[in-house]
Amino acid sequence: MRPSFLLLLGLLACRSAPSQPDPAQPITEVCVLGMIHREHVDSTAWGLEAVLETLRALEPDAVLCEIPPDRLPRAMEEFRRLGRIEEPRVARFPEYTGVLFPLQADLGFEIVPCAAWTEEMALERQAKLEGWRTSRAEDTARVEEAQRRAGEAQAALGPVDDPYVIHSDAYDELVRQGMRPYDELFNEDLGPGGWTNINAAHWALLEAALEERRGQRLVITFGAWHKYWFLDRLRDRSDVHLLDPTDYLPAGS
């Protein structure tokens, strides 16, 4: 067994146990689903139909999703009026245009927008990262190498679109390791678009949604690499019962 894998197992074993429930608090059931965005369209393992069947099996009261709050009204109006979504930030995610909105019309769950990204933030981040390829070439190389290694290690766990791989502790730990240099070197200089900064902003919206929906069954749908960040905080909450996504995946996924 490779030393790096032994280290990974050790890190997983040392993770703190979840807080014990407080019987005086209503328990909120939460399932965190890792999305692969455009890759859902062609995936045979975690495709749009598999996402749809998983959400059907979960029967959520609300889905807390990677849509900015200011983009949701237009997207919902377009879907009601046209049967499709043209709003660019929402239209880029097939799991929302092809699954979430049609299924919401069928099942009636609430769609709760919890993404803190803005277009200005994304453009500023992109420009800085591109400029640092020259002005901070060594830092950029360290960041890209760490992410490349994380991707290779994830592929060693199984197919990169396998939902059982995506929803494993080993996958999350590899993301944590892979993003550490990016976070340490660039977070502060990227401002609101830094890795810790943006995840904290996402989490603030998610936490507010959790507080408003105590005792419900909630599903969080964000890009799979954000997943560990939210799970770390959810595991610290005594009023949350985390549901294992793999219990709800369709047969054959």
User: What would the pLDDT profile of 20-74 be if each residue is shown by its tens digit?
Assistant: 545 567 999 999 999 999 999 999 999 999 999 999 999 999 999 999 999 999 9
Q: Do 109 and 150 sit in the same domain of this protein?
A: no
Residue 125 is assigned to a structural domain of this protein:
yes
98 pLDDT more than 90: yes
> Domain range spanning residue 221?
26-119+214-247
Between 253 and 163, the more confident residue is 163
Rounded mean pLDDT of 89-97?
Answer: 95
C-alpha 46: how far from its chain's center?
Answer: 14
Spatial contact of 163 and 247, defined as CB atoms under 8 Å apart: no
Residue 100 is assigned to a structural domain of this protein:
yes
What digits encode the pLDDT tens for the residues 184-199?
999 999 999 999 999 9
Residue 178 is assigned to a structural domain of this protein:
yes
Rounded mean pLDDT of 122-135?
Answer: 97
Q: Do 57 and 171 sit in the same domain of this protein?
A: no
By residue count, the chain amounts to: 253
Residue 209 is assigned to a structural domain of this protein:
no
Both structure tokens of 108 = 């009636």
Residue 99 is assigned to a structural domain of this protein:
yes
Residues above pLDDT 90, as percent of the chain: 89
Maximum CA extent, the chain: 57
Q: Do 107 and 32 sit in the same domain of this protein?
A: yes
Spatial contact of 179 and 197, defined as CB atoms under 8 Å apart: no
253 pLDDT more than 80: no
Tell me the pLDDT of the chain averaged across its residues.
91
The pLDDT of residue 24 is 67
Show the beta-strand stretches assigned E in the chain.
28-35, 62-65, 110-113, 217-223, 240-242
Rounded mean pLDDT of 171-190?
Answer: 98
Between 8 and 94, the more confident residue is 94
Helix (H, G, I), strand (E, B) or coil at 126: helix
Q: Do 110 and 134 sit in the same domain of this protein?
A: no
Write down the pTM of the prediction. 0.89
Between 64 and 7, the more confident residue is 64
Spatial contact of 163 and 55, defined as CB atoms under 8 Å apart: no
Residue 234 is assigned to a structural domain of this protein:
yes
pLDDT level of residue 164 (50, 70, 90 thresholds): very high
d(C-alpha 78, C-alpha 130), whole Å = 34
Q: Please count the structural domains in the chain.
A: 2
Residue 65 is assigned to a structural domain of this protein:
yes
Rounded mean pLDDT of 212-232?
Answer: 98
Residue 206 is assigned to a structural domain of this protein:
no
The pLDDT of residue 25 is 76
The pLDDT of residue 48 is 97
Q: Do 114 and 138 sit in the same domain of this protein?
A: no
Q: Do 144 and 104 sit in the same domain of this protein?
A: no
Q: Do 132 and 167 sit in the same domain of this protein?
A: yes
Q: Do 80 and 111 sit in the same domain of this protein?
A: yes
Q: Do 38 and 79 sit in the same domain of this protein?
A: yes
d(C-alpha 197, C-alpha 201), whole Å = 6
The pLDDT of residue 251 is 82
Q: Do 103 and 223 sit in the same domain of this protein?
A: yes
d(C-alpha 44, C-alpha 35), whole Å = 14
Which of 204, 246, 1 is CA-nearest to residue 113? 204
123 pLDDT more than 50: yes
Which residues are 221's β-sheet partners?
A: 33, 65
Q: How many CB atoms lie within 10 A of CB 156?
A: 12
**One-letter amino acid identity for 215?**
G
Rounded mean pLDDT of 226-246?
Answer: 97
Spatial contact of 226 and 37, defined as CB atoms under 8 Å apart: no
Q: Which residues contact 76 (CB under 8 A, 6 or more apart)?
A: 101, 111
Q: How many CB atoms lie within 10 A of CB 103?
A: 18
Q: Do 173 and 221 sit in the same domain of this protein?
A: no
